[in-house]
Chain A
Amino acid sequence: KNEVEQSPQNLTAQEGEFITINCSYSVGISALHWLQQHPGGGIVSLFMLSSGKKKHGRLIATINIQEKHSSLHITASHPRDSAVYICAVRRGAQKLVFGQGTRLTINP
């Protein structure tokens, strides 16, 4: 069983829809990262969370440490949000363990 599981694996939605991507993990962590991987392969860090909720523009990330679960929400989705969204948890001092990613496609 993977230490980090994301759902759904693929998500297609229409422009303007509210998007939720989920991440569950099975181990103790000290922090959780949400990353965005563009079609060209580049990775951008979106959030780093250890508790509660963070918001940046149309993106919101939440984490529930007790339930070992995090969600990434996108409000008013746009075609430029189309990317792979990756959840990664920090284990040990530096090591990140990555989920398999959620491929999001927003159609105009």
Chain B
Amino acid sequence: EPEVTQTPSHQVTQMGQEVILRCVPISNHLYFYWYRQILGQKVEFLVSFYNNEISEKSEIFDDQFSVERPDGSNFTLKIRSTKLEDSAMYFCASSQISGANVLTFGAGSRLTVL
């Protein structure tokens, strides 16, 4: 069964460092998403991406965050200067059509900022 693949599974970084989280969505999917889940809290929407541009973003997704699809297969989330409160599990997801369709999630990337 097709999977969404995320790397790394766990990253530890120092406050102020840049982090890039990578995702390989399912090949025939057109919509891509990033979500985050701070430990013990609910999942939160960060951003959706379609046709090489952001289609929607939340208030969490400020100037410190950016997304990119650099090579037609990878979908990346960059955090420019990490803060302690960025520590969370970050989930990538993709769907074949818009968000009304079933989402396929990756296993998540755990980010720990020290």
Query: Total interface residues on B, using CB and 8 Å?
Result: 28
Q: Is A41's CB under 8 angstroms from B56's CB?
A: no
Over the window 82-114 of chain B, the binary record of Cβ atoms lying under 8 Å from chain A Cβ atoms (1 yes, 0 no) is 000000010101000011111111011010000
CB contacts (< 8 Å) of B37 on chain A: these are: 41
Main secondary structure of the interface of A (DSSP, over half): strand
Within 29-44 of B, Cβ neighbours of A (below 8 Å) are at 31, 33, 35, 37, 41-44
Give the contacting residue for B45; candidates A30, A35, A41, A96; CB below 8 A.
A96
- What is the number of contacts between chain A and chain B, taking CB atoms within 8 Å? 67
- Extra pairs beyond A45-B104, A88-B43, A100-B41 (10, CB < 8 Å): A41-B89, A41-B107, A42-B108, A45-B105, A50-B100, A95-B45, A97-B45, A98-B42, A98-B43, A98-B44
